[in-house]
C-alpha cells in the first residue's frame, strides 16, 4: 500500500555562468537575471553542464538572462534560496518544504511526472546474498552496515528513515546495530557506488538514479541488487520566490510555470531526469512536512 493511499502523503554555493544561449534577453545589462540552483543529488561537479540546456531554454522562451548557481550541498541550496541569492530551485520534497517554510511566499510550481508517486530502493552488496523482499527485511539487515544519502535527501534519507520506523518502531540509529552512515557528497551516485564496491553493505537510494545508472552501464544490478522498494510518496519540485512578478513583470510566475510544463526538449528534461514536467502546488508536499516533523527533522 502506498503512503499516499494510507492518507499520509498527499500528492554557500559557487556562481554559475550567465546564459549566452539562444536568448540573451532584451533588457540590456541592467535587466535582472533569473538565478537558478539545484540540490546536488548527483555529483556537484556535473551540475553546471547538467543545467546548461535549461538555462538556454528559459532564456529564449522568457526573453531574460538566466544564470545557474551551484550549491555545494543540500543545506546550502535551502540557505541560499532563503537568503534571496537564487530565485528558483530544483528541490527534493524535504528541501522544498524547508525552503518554503523559510520563505513564506514561496511557491512550488512544477514537478516531474513521476514525482507524485516517487519511491526509494534499498539495495545491498551482492556478497550479502540478500534476496528481494516484499516486506521490509528487518531481520536480514539489522546487523549490516547501512548508509543513507545526504542527511537532507527525501528519497535517500527522510522517507527511508520513516519507513524503517514504520516497520520496526525504531529510528535507524536504534534499529541498526552498527553506526548509520551518510553520503555527504556525491548524492545518490555515491550511495550506489559505495554499495556496489562493498564499502557499505546496504543503502537507500532514489529509484530514478539507480535505474538510470543501470541503464547507462554505470551500475551493475548483479553487484548491487534491489532488496526492497518503499511505498510511494511525493518528491522533487521546482520552487520559486513568490515575488518574482515584481522583478520580472506581472504574470511572470505563471508564464514560467507554463514554459516549464510545456517543455518537450529532451536535453532540458534530462537535467531533471524526467520525461515531462507537470504543475505542482505547495499542498502536494504536505505529507512530506508531516513526516519531517514526526521524525524531529523539522519544527
Q: What is the CATH number of the domain that holds 258?
A: 3.40.190.10
* pLDDT exceeds cutoff 50 at 196: yes
Confidence label for 46 from pLDDT (cuts 50, 70 and 90): confident
Q: Tell which of 205, 229, 253 closes a domain.
A: 229
**Nine cell digits for residue 234:** 511525493
Question: What pLDDT is attached to residue 193?
Answer: 97
Q: Are residues 110 and 240 in the same domain?
A: yes
Predicted confidence band of residue 140 (pLDDT cuts 50, 70, 90)? very high
Q: Which of 229, 245, 260 is the last residue of a domain?
A: 229
Residue 244 contacts residue 87 (beta carbons within 8 Å): yes
Task: Answer whether residue 70 shows pLDDT above 90.
Answer: yes
Nearest one of 176, 130, 150, 173 to 73, comparing CA atoms: 150
Same domain, 126 and 225: yes
Tell me the mean pLDDT in the region 27-50. 81
pLDDT for res 69: 95
State yes or no: pLDDT of 29 exceeds 80. no
- Residue 4 domain flag: no
> Is residue 180 domain-shared with residue 243, that is, in the same domain?
no
pLDDT band at 20 (very low <50, low <70, confident <90, very high): very low
Of residues 104, 51, 96, the one with CA closest to residue 74: 96
Return the percentage of the chain with pLDDT > 70, whole number. 90
- Both 81 and 209 in a single domain? no
Tally of domains in the chain: 2
Residue 136 and residue 282 in one domain: no
- Domain-located, residue 188: yes
> Could you tell me the CA-to-CA distances from 205 to 27, 153, 156 in Å, in that order?
43, 9, 5
Cα–Cα distance list, 157 to 41, 113, 195, 240, 255 (Å): 12, 22, 15, 24, 34
Residue 108 clears pLDDT 90, i.e. is over it: yes
Binned at pLDDT 50, 70 and 90, residue 18 comes out as very low
63 Cβ contact partners less than 8 Å away, ≥ 6 residues apart: 23, 25, 26
Q: Are residues 123 and 212 in the same domain?
A: yes
76 and 204 both lie in a single domain: no
The pLDDT of residue 30 is 59
Q: Over 60: is that where the pLDDT of 4 sits?
A: no
Residue predicted with more confidence, 1 or 190: 190
pTM: 0.87
Question: For residues 89 and 239, is the Cβ–Cβ distance under 8 A?
Answer: yes
**Do 137 and 206 reside in the same domain of the chain?**
yes
Residue 147's domain spans which residues? 119-229
Q: Is residue 18 one of the residues assigned to a domain?
A: no
Residues 225 and 167 grouped into a single domain: yes
Both 198 and 171 in one domain: the answer is: yes
**Scanning the structure block, which residue is given the C-alpha cell 544564470?**
67
Q: What is the Cβ-side half-sphere exposure of residue 112, based on CA atoms within 13 angstroms?
A: 21
C-alpha cell at 54: 535549461
pLDDT at position 24 over 80 = no
Residues 167-194 have pLDDT tens digits of 999 999 999 999 999 997 778 999 999 9
Give the residue-averaged pLDDT of 117-140: 98
| DSSP designation for 205 | E
Distance of alpha carbon 110 from alpha carbon 142, whole angstroms: 38
pLDDT for residue 7: 38
103 contacts 243 by C-beta, under 8 angstroms: no
Last residue of a domain, one of 229, 248, 282: 229
Rounded Cα gap, residues 99 and 59, in angstroms: 24
- The confidence score (pLDDT) of residue 71 equals 94
Amino acid at each position: 500500500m502506498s503512503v499516499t493511499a494510507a492518507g499520509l502523503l498527499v500528492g554557500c554555493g559557487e556562481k554559475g555562468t550567465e546564459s549566452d544561449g539562444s536568448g540573451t534577453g532584451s533588457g540590456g545589462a541592467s535587466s535582472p537575471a533569473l538565478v537558478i540552483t539545484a540540490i546536488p543529488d548527483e555529483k556537484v561537479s556535473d551540475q553546471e553542464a547538467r543545467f546548461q540546456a535549461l538555462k538556454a531554454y528559459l532564456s529564449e522562451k522568457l526573453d531574460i538572462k538566466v544564470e545557474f548557481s551551484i550549491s555545494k550541498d543540500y543545506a546550502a541550496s535551502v540557505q541560499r534560496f532563503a537568503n534571496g541569492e537564487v530565485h528558483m530551485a530544483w528541490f527534493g520534497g524535504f528541501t522544498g518544504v524547508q525552503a518554503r517554510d523559510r520563505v513564506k511566499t514561496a511557491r512550488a510550481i512544477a514537478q516531474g511526472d513521476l514525482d507524485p508517486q516517487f519511491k526509494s530502493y534499498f539495495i545491498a552488496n551482492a556478497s550479502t546474498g540478500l534476496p528481494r523482499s516484499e516486506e521490509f527485511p528487518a531481520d536480514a539487515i539489522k546487523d549490516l552496515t547501512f548508509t543513507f544519502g545526504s542527511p537532507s535527501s527525501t528519497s535517500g534519507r527522510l522517507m527511508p528513515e520513516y519507513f524503517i520506523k514504520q516497520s520496526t518502531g525504531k529510528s535507524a540509529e536504534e534499529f541498526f546495530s552498527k553506526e548509520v552512515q551518510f553520503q555527504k557528497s556525491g548524492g545518490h551516485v555515491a550511495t550506489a557506488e559505495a554499495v556496489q564496491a562493498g564499502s557499505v553493505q546496504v543503502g537507500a537510494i532514489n529509484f530514478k538514479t539507480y535505474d538510470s545508472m543501470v541503464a547507462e552501464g554505470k551500475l551493475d544490478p548483479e553487484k548491487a541488487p534491489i532488496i526492497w522498494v518503499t511505498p510511494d510518496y511525493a518528491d522533487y519540485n521546482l520552487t520559486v520566490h513568490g515575488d518574482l512578478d515584481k522583478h520580472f513583470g506581472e504574470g511572470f510566475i505563471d508564464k514560467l510555470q507554463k514554459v516549464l510544463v510545456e517543455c518537450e526538449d529532451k536535453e532540458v528534461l534530462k537535467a531533471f531526469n524526467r520525461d515531462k514536467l507537470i504543475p505542482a502546488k505547495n499542498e502536494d508536499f504536505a505529507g512530506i512536512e508531516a513526516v519531517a516533523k514526526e521524525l524531529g527533522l523539522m519544527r
